[in-house]
Amino acid sequence: MTKKSSLFRSIVLLLLLHSTCLLSQRKIGYQLELSSFVSSKTKLPFWMDANTQGLVRNQDNAGLTFGINSDFSKHNSNQVDFAFGSTFYGFSSSEKTKLEINELFASAQYKKIRLTAGSKHELLRYGGLSSSNGNIIYSGNTRPMPGISLETATYIPLFFEGKLSFYASFDEYFLNDDRFVDDAQMHHKSLFFRIETSEKSNLTVGVEDYAIWAGTSPELGKLPSGFDDFLRVVGGLSGSGDAPDGDFINALGNHIGAYRVAYQQNYEKTAWEIYWSHPFEDTSGRELNNVEDGLYGLFIDFKNPESILSHLLFEFTYTRDQSGKGQIHGFDDYFNNSIYRSGYTFFGRSIGSPFFTPAEKDENGITKGVSNNSFIAYHTGFGGKLANNLQYKTLLSYSINDGTKGSPFPNSKNQFSGLVDLNYATSKLPFSISLGLGVDGGSLLDDSFGMYIKLLKMGIF
């Protein structure tokens, strides 16, 4: 066990112990879910498995998920408050039976500053209808990474009577899956500004950056991991003299960032948001030489949960530009890296949009980046209420996939994927029932049909 992982585990344990000491003073929620997934092929259809935060195994299986959580409870922000949560996931398939700790975290908050240690699920946005949770580089497509996060608890007012506010985060994660570079870390930081353009509208603009760094390469040995190297990663600076050639020329580590813009408008009977998430990996992307690439979206809330159509979303994702074919800057090859060859993946899945297709695992069970990062994808999601106690959600996607710039497909591969989810909840039953039907058709994935059933019980201890 490294000193860094020991320190991390100590912080998690300290926060958890302090949180559990306050159990008698707070409400604790729980959820228990039994599930069964079946498919006509070896793997489940795309939308039955994507964006499930590691809580679905991509094959026929029976699953059990149990979680507890306790949110911040104090209304006085001048006092230190705590929150914690955990999710355990077990499954049984034809290959193996396994129990995993999917989520385990504790948070402390004082005034408007929040510290979180552990692995915590990403907040689900847009009613779960988005193909990438509104963010092309971080989607909830993988299980959460363990780490330490320091952030503002909300947007903090700055100027103009609070009409200009900001949100910031500074995080360090540990990539504890089987990777080409062992014991690698992930640094993350973000800064967003929000402007109230009127009483019913606001504009949010910001930037965030993820950087894979440190670790031990089977080819290059121990990679730069000192405090000076950490500062270089934070500042996006090139490596020192002992850094590999690519990190000496470009920024130290494997950087993946995004510019994000969102405009929200709120009316009496509807609310809508248009958003843009633009990826960059080096100077060419930061300077918008790949300006065409990005996730473009529109989300509409009709503010009528009883309607047959209560929410509607449209998204368009384009990644074919990749800053041209420059040798040092440009030719971005999204989510792949020559040093950190597992690329921007975690436990064999794309950390960003699930439309980025991970490469098949090698003989050692290691994923080496993505095999498809140049594509056009059209996506829509909508949901509402079909009848009393019966809600539905539908996801439909069509993509045209080219492979990568370095290893393009001989011909573009077209792909359709769809999912219909029905949820029935009534006070006559102690649990809710979900039934899902998924389908894939095209040349990127196997043509397949699948279904699932889930029984969910939620409550408070």
Q: Where are the domains of the chain?
A: 129-451
Judge contact between 411 and 378, C-beta under 8 A: no
Q: Which residues contact 240 (CB under 8 A, 6 or more apart)?
A: 224, 228, 229, 232, 248, 252
Determine the average pLDDT of the residues in 303-318. 97
Residue 327: pLDDT band (50, 70, 90) is very low
Nearest by Cα to 29 from 80, 71, 69 = 69
Average pLDDT over every residue of 325-347: 82
User: Among candidates 369, 358, 333, 407, which has minimal Cα distance to 180?
Assistant: 369
pLDDT for 98 equals: 93
pLDDT at 400 over 70: yes
Give the pLDDT score at 238: 76
What pLDDT is stored for residue 142 in this prediction? 96
Residue-averaged pLDDT of the chain: 91
Taking the C-alpha atoms of residue 330 and residue 55, their distance in angstroms, rounded to an integer, is 36
Mean pLDDT (whole number) for 232-259:
76
Residue 320 contacts residue 112 (beta carbons within 8 Å): no
Would the pLDDT of 435 be above 70?
A: yes
Of 27, 4, 5, 36, the closest CA to residue 434 belongs to 36
pLDDT band at 25 (very low <50, low <70, confident <90, very high): low
pLDDT of residue 26: 73
Q: Which residue has the higher pLDDT, 370 or 1?
A: 370
Q: What percent of the chain has pLDDT over 70?
A: 90
Mean local confidence (pLDDT), 285-300? 92
Comparison of pLDDT for 270 and 17, the residue scoring more: 270
pTM of the shown model:
0.91
pLDDT at res. 9? 58
Mean pLDDT is lowest, of 50-54, 225-229, 446-450, for: 225-229
Helix then strand then coil, % of the chain, to nearest 5: 10, 50, 40
The pLDDT score that the predictor gives to residue 434 is: 98
* Assigned CATH for 129-451: 2.40.160.130
Q: So what's the pLDDT on residue 236?
A: 85
Stronger pLDDT, 286 or 62, i.e. the higher one: 62
- Which has the closest alpha carbon to 335: 324, 350, 346, 325? 350
What number is the average pLDDT over the span 43-52? 97
Cα-based angle 255, 256, 259 (whole degrees, multiple of 5):
125
Instruction: For 72-119, write each residue's pLDDT tens digit.
Output: 887 667 789 999 999 999 999 988 899 999 999 999 999 899 999 999
Mean pLDDT computed over 333-338: 94
Report the helix count and the strand count for the chain, using DSSP H and E: 5, 25
Q: How far apart are CA 460 and CA 204, in angstroms?
A: 35
State mean pLDDT over 366-383.
Answer: 97
Give the pLDDT score at 325.
56
Q: How far apart are CA 245 and CA 222, in angstroms?
A: 14
H/E/C letters for each residue in 205-253?
EEEEEEEEECCEECCCEECCCCHHHHHHHHHCCECCCCCCHHHHHCECC
Q: Report DSSP letters for 67-94, one per residue.
A: EEEE----S-TTS-EEEEEEEEEEEE-S
pLDDT band of 248, cuts 50, 70, 90: very low
Structure tokens at 443: 């040349």
Is the model's pLDDT at 23 over the cut of 60?
A: no
Q: Can you read off the two tokens belonging to residue 376?
A: 């056009």
Average pLDDT over residues 253-276: 96
pLDDT of residue 283: 80
| Mean pLDDT value across residues 361-375 | 94
Residue 13 has pLDDT above 80, yes or no: no
